A and B are shown apart, each in its own frame.
Chain A
Amino acid sequence: MDRALASFIRALRSAGAEVSTGEAIDAARTVAIIGYADRAALKASLGLVLAKSVAEKVIHDQVFDRFFSKPSASEATADDDETLRISDDAEVSNDASDDPQFGTLLSMIADANGGRGDAVDRLTAVIAQAAAATGVDDIRFASQIPYYVRQTMERMGIQPMEARLRDLLLAPSAKTAQEAYDLAAARDALQRHVRALVDQRFELFGRPATETFLADVAVNRQLGRMSSSDLERMTAAVKRMARRLAVKHARRRRVATRGKLDLRRTLRANAGHDGVPFDLVFKYKRRDKPRIVAICDVSASVSAQAHFLLLFLYALRGAVTDLATFAFSNSLHDIGAPLDTLPFDDAMAFVLTEYGSGSTDYGQAFADLAERHWDLIDRRTTVLILGDGRSNDNDPRLDLFRDMSDRAKRVVWLCPEPPARWGTGDSCMHLYRTFATHVSHCTSAAEIELAIDDALQAYA
């Protein structure tokens, strides 16, 4: 596989498209058939081979355009296709690095500055070659850009030129003033070109990697301590996590229990064979569809966690079609309608301002649930409760909670407080935990994912 393609696939991977080795091989075969000459055909073909969903196609098209475009330092004029020849032309630069004089480099820069398209291409090719040798594709952070620029320039043999420039500047004379000026200008021009290329490499390889890294950090950070930039990153990360969960749990609705013959259906299926059982029909177990009732405490102390739990659940609607969501601080409200109709952030803001004030009363919330929505809870329902269990010394209505626990398939409680504080002060967690199927201490998005995965697993 040629270097350009391998590097392109790496760029795709760091941008978040999952490209397998098999697909990389397909891509190489595709390039062998289509060739690099027809840019549109190449783009369409690689899109077919490498991107396997609409989202991946968007990523692919973006990365393709960015990757196979010329890093423009001075708004170069030549056709885009020319960059594709980098790998072919690159040999010309082999001797540039050990050029004791800097004449070649200087004339190359001068030619490129002259604005001739092919001269610019030649310079770009030499820069790309030198940059690749410094390992610029491993760039991760924006702060590394100057380092790679410098490394690339040194590899191209800038040092003798700078030494000469230094000598000229230390001993200024009227005779050499023009040469010093030219050298400085050439150096700046080269730096601009190199910088443009390194910038492009950073956009391709560095930025996506940085984003992934930051998202990973955010996913494990305590939900209560999010900065606003984290929140944005998290929203994307949570959607990804939810999609993963949805794919994992959307499959297998039916399990055959091999070995248990369904006699009635076997006889009926074989009526045509005079009752001789050629086709055997086995019994199977139909899996329940996940049905989730989420009850969120949205008072100020746990609102951040509630935000992400709901974000998760709503991103999961592919897998969980049967979802009811309630919010309370004292009386219980169905928040399905705002979440369905408004954009998520607006809906959450609405929920928090409408229902988030007021003193917390878990007992009241369970009483409301029992009164109005008890029919939602049956043996197929998983009840997800998010809250700290601090009920302001009101009656926790354990009788209702136990009743609910008896009716439901599972009751999972996600508590943002550590177990050591359960039961201290007005916390009723130690009472509720007796009747909950599972209580987990949930502080980060990663933990919420685990808890939901666990809840859905119960339907597998």
Chain B
Amino acid sequence: MQKPTTPFSDTTPLGSIDDITAALETVGYISTRPISTALYLAHHLRKPVLIEGPAGVGKTDLAISAAKALQFALLRLQCYEGLDDGKALYEWKYGKQLLYTQILKDKIGHLVADADTLDQAMGKLRGFQDLFFSREFLEARPLLQAMEQHGGSVLLIDEVDKSDEAFEALLLEVLADYQVTVPEIGTIAADVPPLVILTSNNTRELGDALKRRCLHLHIGFPDAALENRVVRARVPGISDALLGQLVAFVQALRHENIRKPPSIAEAVDWARTLILMHASVLDEAMVRDTLNVLLKRQSDIIAVQDRLPDLVRAARDAPARTH
């Protein structure tokens, strides 16, 4: 088995797994080994990555950060129910076609004026019929745009679980060969295959065919050490003491019996909130006031009310124990 050739020189961060981790870190994304491995393999195997996991753990952010770190163009396709090929692949610019026909009417009239019969006029027009179905009248949508990026691109297909399965089938075709066929023009193939990242929140089970074609990456809630680094990267101004307590509190909160546990996004928001409030350590009153940043369901907030004193105390003791 020979290594697939890559269009990139070895100077790009895609050369090794560690380089990817380092490159992501420069743009503020703290990567884990599976995440970096996924990007590395996605590039070398030319396969899309399907990322699943709870909301707010950095699925979409990974694609954005990867584009930034690799200096690729980012093309984003947000999926929703009813998304079709006209919105995802390409569309003819009907309006423009219509307008041009109107403007060119006289010219065309002039052109066919000397034809004696209808057949002759048709013959003359036939030579021009592709005029209105050329690249100029083609409105490229994200999937086609990604194929046309010559410098490489990151194609983010966000929340693919929200789309219909007809769209999933369409994706299969595009992602298998990295090309789009427009009947009137021909096949447009990507000369540099885009790095494709699909995200899913698992609102429905994705089709097996799509899953089997992708690398499957699951990003779960981070452990304390990782969360520490992520919050530190995103909120540089936070003090060590507060950071340790905050992470310990959030980690403990995830083990409480709540419907929607806070994810990293909420932890980062909370860190910003606490800084705004000039907190240097966690105290119960402040946690109580700002809990709605972490927990987005009223029932969850009520459920942990009684546990707050214990949780805050445990969080304040936690960093002391680790040092």
- Which A residues fall within an 8 A CB radius of B? 20, 22-23, 26, 28-34, 40-41, 44-45, 47-49, 51-54, 57, 246-247, 250-252, 254, 272-273, 276, 278-279, 318
Contacts and interface: CB of A to CB of B under 8 A. Distances in A.
B212 A54 contact: no
B2 A32 contact: yes
Among the interface residues A29, A48, A49, which one has the most CB atoms of the partner chain B within 10 A? Answer: A48
A170 B237 CA distance: 84
11 contacts: A29-B4, A33-B45, A41-B37, A48-B38, A49-B41, A49-B45, A53-B216, A54-B52, A54-B218, A57-B216, A252-B165
Nearest to B207: A251
Interface centre among B2, B38, B49, B205 (most CB of A within 10 A): B205
A47 B212 contact: no
B212 A247 contact: no
A29 B86 CA distance: 35
B98 A40 contact: no
Interface residues of B, number: 33
Contacts of A246: 205
A254 B166 CA distance: 11
B293 interface: no
Contacts of B165: 251-252
A22 B212 contact: yes
B275 to A, nearest CB: 34
Interface in B198-250: 204-205, 207, 211-218
A5 to B, nearest CB: 11
A273 B98 CA distance: 9
A266 to B, nearest CB: 14
B150 to A, nearest CB: 25
The 4 A-B pairs of least Cβ separation, nearest first, read A32-B1, A48-B215, A52-B216, A44-B37
Given A45-B41, A254-B164, 12 more contacts: A33-B3, A40-B33, A41-B17, A41-B33, A41-B37, A48-B49, A48-B215, A52-B214, A57-B216, A57-B218, A250-B204, A252-B165
Interface string B89-104: 0000011001000000
B47 interface: yes
Contacts of A251: 165, 204-205, 207
A57 B217 CA distance: 9
Given A26-B47, A48-B34, A273-B95, A20 B212 contact: yes
B182 to A, nearest CB: 17
A16 to B, nearest CB: 15
Contact of B1 (A28, A52, A279): A28
Nearest to B52: A54
B211 A48 contact: no
A459 to B, nearest CB: 15
B44 interface: yes
B94 A278 contact: yes
B41 A250 contact: no
A52 B202 CA distance: 13
Nearest to A49: B215
A30 B212 CA distance: 15
